[in-house]
Amino acid sequence: MGSLYFHKIPHCINPRSFKAGQFSRSYISLPFMKKSVALHTLGCKLNFSETSTLGRLLENDGFEKKEFDEVADVYVINTCSVTENADKECRMLVRRIQRKAPDAMVVITGCYAQLKPTEIADIPGVDLVLGAAEKFNIAQHLKEITKGDSAKICSCDIEDVNIFTASHSINDRTRTFLKVQDGCDYNCSFCTIPLARGKSRSDSIENVVNMVKDVAGKGPKEIILTGINLGDFGKGMQGGKKKEENFFDLVKALDEVEGIERYRISSIEPNLLTNEIIEFVSNSKKFMPHFHIPLQSGSNTILGAMKRRYKAELYAERVGLIKTMMPHCCVGVDVIVGFPGETEQHFKETVDFLTGMDISYLHVFTYSERANTHAANLTPVVPMHVRSERNKILRNLSYQKMQYFTAQHIGQERKVLFEIANRNGMMEGYTDNYIKIATPFNKAWENNIIPWKI
């Protein structure tokens, strides 16, 4: 029997007006018994790597890990808040847990939890809300609370979040998402990420290399480098001194590590994707010919309103260099439709720009108003039905682009890393340049790189 405590936080407290630990503690005496935990990720690959790390932390502390659709004692939802849909999905998941396991403890963490902790605490069924500074202390927090009538909030001002916590996924033995950078110093007018993640900070190259060596010993063949603003790698303090490292240094160092056969760069801003990085990838046997480069709009007027740090011309220049050096390279693009002030002409500029670009696929996002962002106050507002129609147009263009990109490689032999999964007698894998391959299941091909004629 041990003494446990929890923070008592009144719902009326503004999450930005309190500091973690400033409230009184109530003590409870409870026996600690082995419990089960199920985790779920909303959002990006970086969130996925952090959820995997949270799961390992809890397993190391004695929790039994279960699938999210199973009945568990504790459910952890790692949230995103890039769009309103992510917020709604979080609420839907909590309601589902309430129906399935009404006595289970429900923990919400991630970006939504940092941005709107009191709003989440008001959701029926939520017991614990962990902000950006507290998510990796989850095991301790779970020992210090009990199922009650009101949720407990453990958070702080985002300005106080300045520590980098390394994370990586290991559930999928084929590939690993490795977080090497966090936070963002950019202030794009539509984005809440700086408010949810804090300032840009990153791991050291030495630590990343050591983690890659550790991952290599566990079997994965591919590592996807992830971050909030990945190309900004190297920012932050180390030992009280400013780091003298950058993303290109990291890429070069990782290329020398034995045991990992493939790396992918998850997403990198066009203004941070340098010519030297592109040239290095073109000559590397480990970094795959695949870039995902956010554009957001093909109109310089809209890019300016978004406070992006480049113009469409620079984006075209980057893609042009990539395709000159690697004609077979896959190039993915993020685009936002329906941003305030986006006229039919602005949207046409985007469509024409993307149509003329040698790109492979699009990730299309419908603009969603987010509180505490500059764009939320911009006018004129684009009607939702217009946003939806523009989304459909670009998704159709994305399909055409991927079909054309794939058709260009028919008859070619490329190397495919097949995943460890038997889906109704089929298995899937990706070529080096990110073409998806499906074929009848073959056990011998699991987590192996196979030469494949497209």
pLDDT in tens, 194-234: 998 999 999 999 999 999 999 999 999 999 999 999 999 99
User: pLDDT band for position 13 (50/70/90)?
Assistant: very low
Structure confidence at residue 23 (pLDDT):
34
Q: How many CA atoms lie within 13 A of 378 on its CB side?
A: 20
- 51 shares its domain with 92: yes
Tokens 């794009």 sit on residue: 188
* CB crowding 320-331: b at 16 or more within 10 Å, else e: eebeeebebbbb
- 156 shares its domain with 168: no
Residue 151, domain member (yes or no): yes
Over residues 94-101, the mean pLDDT reads 93
User: pLDDT band for position 244 (50/70/90)?
Assistant: confident
Looking at per-residue pLDDT, the higher value among 26 and 255 belongs to: 255
Residue type, 370: R
Say which range, 97-106, 280-289, 394-403, has the weakest mean pLDDT: 97-106
Over residues 79-89, the mean pLDDT reads 76
Judged by DSSP in three states, 120 sits in: helix
Residue 350, domain member (yes or no): no
Give the whole-number percent of the chain exceeding pLDDT 70: 89
Count how many domains the chain has.
Answer: 3
- 41 shares its domain with 52: yes
Diameter over CA atoms, the chain: 69
| DSSP string for residues in 217-269 | TT--SEEEEE-SSGGGTT-SEETTEE----HHHHHHHHTT-TT--EEEE----
Residue 233, domain member (yes or no): yes
Q: Is the pLDDT of residue 112 over 50?
A: yes
Structure confidence at residue 235 (pLDDT):
79
User: pLDDT band for position 241 (50/70/90)?
Assistant: low
Residue 68, domain member (yes or no): yes
- 156 shares its domain with 276: no
Say which range, 10-24, 153-167, 351-365, has the weakest mean pLDDT: 10-24
Residue 85, domain member (yes or no): yes
Q: Is the pLDDT of residue 149 over 70?
A: no
- 195 shares its domain with 173: yes
Kindly report the CATH number assigned to the domain that includes residue 76.
Answer: 3.40.50.12160
Query: Range of 212's domain?
Result: 162-288
Contacts of 234 (CB under 8 A, 6+ apart): 202, 243, 244, 245, 246, 247, 249, 250
Q: What is the value of pTM for the model shown?
A: 0.85
Structure confidence at residue 154 (pLDDT):
87
Kindly report the CATH number assigned to the domain that includes residue 205.
Answer: 3.30.750.210
Structure confidence at residue 22 (pLDDT):
37
- 172 shares its domain with 226: yes
Give the whole-number percent of the chain exceeding pLDDT 90: 70
Residue 158 to residue 145: CA distance in whole angstroms: 24
- 243 shares its domain with 125: no
User: pLDDT band for position 237 (50/70/90)?
Assistant: low
User: pLDDT band for position 21 (50/70/90)?
Assistant: very low
**What is the average pLDDT score of the chain?**
88
Q: Is the pLDDT of residue 386 over 60?
A: yes
- 217 shares its domain with 278: yes
Residue 106, domain member (yes or no): yes
Q: Is the pLDDT of residue 30 over 90?
A: no
291-328 pLDDT per residue, tens:
999 999 999 999 999 999 999 999 999 999 999 999 99
Final residue of a domain: which of 114, 135, 160?
A: 160
Beta bridge partners of 292: 332
Q: Is the pLDDT of residue 6 over 90?
A: no
- 69 shares its domain with 172: no
- 206 shares its domain with 150: no
Residue 294, domain member (yes or no): no
- 195 shares its domain with 136: no
Final residue of a domain: which of 160, 178, 207?
A: 160
User: pLDDT band for position 76 (50/70/90)?
Assistant: very high
Over residues 143-158, the mean pLDDT reads 81
Beta bridge partners of 175: 222
Structure confidence at residue 33 (pLDDT):
61
Which token pair is 31? 């026996």
Strands (E) across 127-173 are located at 128-130, 152-154, 167-168
Final residue of a domain: which of 160, 185, 212?
A: 160
- 58 shares its domain with 87: yes
Residue 104, domain member (yes or no): yes
